[in-house]
Structure 1
Amino acid sequence: MKKTISIHIKGFPFIIEEIAYTRLENYLKRLKSALEKEEGADEIIEDIEIRIAELLNEKKTTAKQVIEDQDVLDVLNTLGDPSDYTEQEETSGHSDYHSEYQSHTHNERRLYRDTETGYIGGVCSGLSGYFNIDPTIIRLIWAAAFFIGGVGLFLYILLWIIIPKANTSIERLKMKGRPINVDTVKEEVERAANSVSEKSKQFANQLKNDNRIKDGVSAFKKVIRIVVGCFLLFIGFIALISLITFVFGTAQFFPATTDDGFLSIPSMAALIFNDSFDNRLAWISFYLCSVSFVVFFLLGGFATLFNLKNKWYRYTNLLLVLTGIIGFSIGIIVFSRTGRDYTISGEIEKEIATVSSNQLVIMPRAKTQLKNTDYMVKENSLWHIYIGNNTITESGIDLKYHPSKDSLYHVLIEKQAHAHTLEKAVERAQNISYKYDLNNDTITLPVSYSYPKSDKIRNQDVTIHIYIPKGKTVSIADAVIGLEKPALDEDDFDEVYEQRGKIRSDGTYRHRD
C-alpha cells in the first residue's frame, strides 16, 4: 500500500505517489538551481513544467489514474538530468578551457531514431540528423529502395529494431552532433517546450472548435426541435378542429341531401354495419383512436417544443398508445365482421321476355317518386341512392348483349347481393324489387331498383341480359346496338363475344363495346 497525494501541474490534476512527488519536486528544484542565472529561466522552467504535465497525462489511462514512481522516472529520463549541464561548469576552470573541453569531449555524434519529427519509426529523421541531410532526401532514397527490389522495407524494419530511440534532450543533442552545454540543453528544452506549447495551443484550439461544433449542433437541434414541435402542434390542432366539427356538427356533411338537410355519417354507417351493436362499437373505436391521436400529437408537440422529459409525459404517452391500440383493435374486429358480410355473392336469374320482331326497343323510365323524408346521394347532378324510411333505392342498370342461338330476342334479369353465407346472399337478391313493363316489342326498364333497408347495403345490383338474333338490333335511347360476328369460331363467338351498356339515373344510356 503506497501513500498518494493530489497535485495540479499547470492546471492538470494528478493523483501521484508520495515518493514520485518527492522525486519530481527534487528534480524541479535542481532544474531551477541549474538555470537560476540564465535569462528567461522562469519561462523555461514553466515550459518544462507544461511538458512534464503533458507527459504525465499520457501515462494515465482509464484503468490507471495514479501516477507511479516509475512514470515520473520515465518522464524525467525523457527531459534529462539537470546535473548534465551543471557538471560541465564545475569541471571547467575558465571559459576558454570549458569551450575547448566541450568541443573535444562532449561534441560526440551518435545514431538515434527521431520519433518526434518522424512519421513512422523515426529512422529517416534520425539518419538526417546524424548526417545533417534534409530528411526528405533520405525518405526519397528509402522509397526508391522500397520499389526497386523491396530491400528498403526489410532494411527499415531492421534499423528500426537496432537503432535506439532518442528519449532525452541529451540524446537528441548527441544525435545531431551538437555540444552538450547549458546553452544547447536550454535550447533543446526550449525547442521541446515550444513544440509542446504549440501542440497545447492546437489542442486548445481543437477544444474551442469542438465547443463551437457542439454549440452549432446544439443550436441546430434546437431549431429542429422547434420545427418538429410546431409541426406536431399544427397536426394536433387541425385534428382537434376536425374532431370538434365532426362531433358537434352532428357529422352532417355526407354528400346526400333532402328537404330536411344533409345525411349524417352515423345514419350512413347504420346502413353498412350489421346491427346496432357493431355500429356502436365502430363509433367507440373511432372516438378512442381519434382522441388518442389528437392528444398524442398535441402533447408531443408541447413536449418537443419545451423539451419535456418527465415521468408524467412518458406515462401519458403510454396510456395514449394503449388507448389507440384498444380502439384500433375494436375497429379491426367490427370491420372484419362487416367485411365478412361482403365475401359471398348470391345471384338469381329469370327470363322476363321472349320477343319475335325485327328490332327490340328498350325504353328507360327515369321517374322515381321521392318523398320529402328521403335522402338522395348525388354526384355530378346524377343521383345514385335514395334512402327512405324502410327502403333503399339505387340507380344504374347494367345491360349485357349476347348473341342469340335462335331467331328470337331473349331478355333475362339477374339480381345479385352479398352476405356471409350463400343462403343469405340469395335471400337478399330475392328481396331486390325491379318493376319492368313489356308491350309487344318494347320493354320499359326503370333506371332504379330497391330493397329493404334491413338488408343493409351489400353490393346489391341488377343486370339485364339481352340475347340478340343474328342480323337484328336493339334500339335504346339514341343508340342502336347490333352484334356483328367477328372472325371467331362458332363456339367461341357464343361464349366470348358480348357488349355492355348502362342506363343512368337520368334515363340516358352509355354504351361500351
Structure 2
Amino acid sequence: MKEITRIHLAKTPYDIELDAKEVLQKYLSEIKQMMGSEDTMYEIEARMVELLGERGVQNNGIITMSDVEDLRSKMGLPKEFSDSESTEDSQADLAPSNSPAKRLMRDTDNAIFGGVCAGIAAYWGINPLWVRLLFIISPFITFGTALLVYIIIWISLPEAKTAAEKLQMRGEPVTLDSLKKAANNSESKYRAKETLAKILRICLALGLFFTTLGLLAVLVVGSITGIMAMPFINEFTHAQPWAWGLLISLIIAGIMAVEMFGVLTFSVARMKFTKAVLITLVITSVIGVLSIAGMVITGSKLSNEVVQDRQRLTKVIHAKLPNNVEGVKYVELEGNHMTSEIIPSSNLRVEAEYINYKGSEKPKIEIVRDGDTLEIELLNRNKPCKNSTLFYCVDSPVHIKIYGPVNFKNEDIDHDRS
C-alpha cells in the first residue's frame, strides 16, 4: 500500500503518491528553471489540472505515477524546450499530439464587452469585426431578439481564462512553448484593451441609464394621466372596463421595460451577467410580450365599445328657425368648439348633435336672418372646458348639421372649430 501526501496545482488540492510527487516536483522544477515566470508556471499548472480532469482525477483526487507520466508525455519535456529554431521545430513536430479539439469560449482578451464575438471569431478563425457587425445589424432585423441571444450566449459560454484554454479556443497545440508565449502575450493585450473596454462600458451604461430614466418618467406621467381620465368616462359604461384593461396593460408593459433596462444598466456597469440576470430578463420579456398582447386585445375592444357608447350618449337638438326663411342662400357660423356640415335637402332645418357627458351643458343655438344669409351662433361653448384632465378636455365638440339648398357664405373658412 503506497503512502500519499497533499499538494496543490494552480490552487487545486490533490492527494498524490510519494514516488509520484518526487517525479512531479522534479519535473516542475526543471520547467521553472526554463520558464522563470511565475505567471507562466501558473498557466502550466492550470493545464495540468485540465489534463488530470480528462483522466478522471478531479479536485481532491489521488494522483498516481501513471498520471504524472501522462502529464510529462502530453506537456513535453523541459529539455525539449528552448528559444532556438531547432527546439521550435521539435515543438512543431509534437503539435499534432497536443492539439486539442477547438472549444467555443469567450475571448475576453480581445473583447469589447463580453468577448462573445471575439470568441466566435477565434473559434472559426475569422476577423472579429465581421462577427461584431453581424451582432450590430441583427437587433434591427430580429426586433431586439438578437440582444437577448447575445446575453444568453454571454452567460452560457465559459470565459477562456488560462493560457491553455485560450490556445484550445483557437485549436492551437498546448505545449510548454505555446503556454509561455500565450502567458506573455495575454498580459500585454489585457493592458491595451482594458482602457478601451472601460470607456465603452461607461458610455453604454450611461445610455442605458438615461433610457431607463426616460421610460420611468413616461410611465409615471402616463399612469397619472390615465388614472385621472378614468372618472370622466363613467358614462361610457361598456367601454370603461376595457379602458381600465388597456391602462393596466400599458402600466405593466412600462414597468417591465423600466425593469429590463434597469437590470441591463446595472449589469453593464458591473460588467457581469449572471444566471439571475438572465432569468430576470426572460421573465420581464415574457410578461412584457403578454402585456403587449393584452394591449392589442383591450385596445380593439375599447375602440368598438366607444363607438357604441358614443351613439348611445349622442343627443340631437332641433334648432328653432326664424319665421321666414324663404330666399335664404347662405349660412354663417359663429362660436367655438363645434364642427359643421351641409346636407342637401329641399326643406331648411338645423340640428345640433352633442355627447351628453355628466355635467355637460346643453348647447344653446341662436339663429337670425340677415338678408339672404342665415346666421347660426353657438352661445355657450366659449367657457373653459368643465370636464378636463391634466392635459386635455373630455368634452366633445357640438356638430351642426344644416339641411337645405344653401351653402356656406365663406367657403374658404374652416368649419371644424374644435
What range describes the TM-score normalised by the shorter chain of this pair?
A: 0.3 to 0.5
TM-score by length of 2: 0.44
Query: Of Structure 1 and Structure 2, which has the larger fraction of its residues in helix?
Result: 2
- The normalised TM-score by structure 1 is 0.37
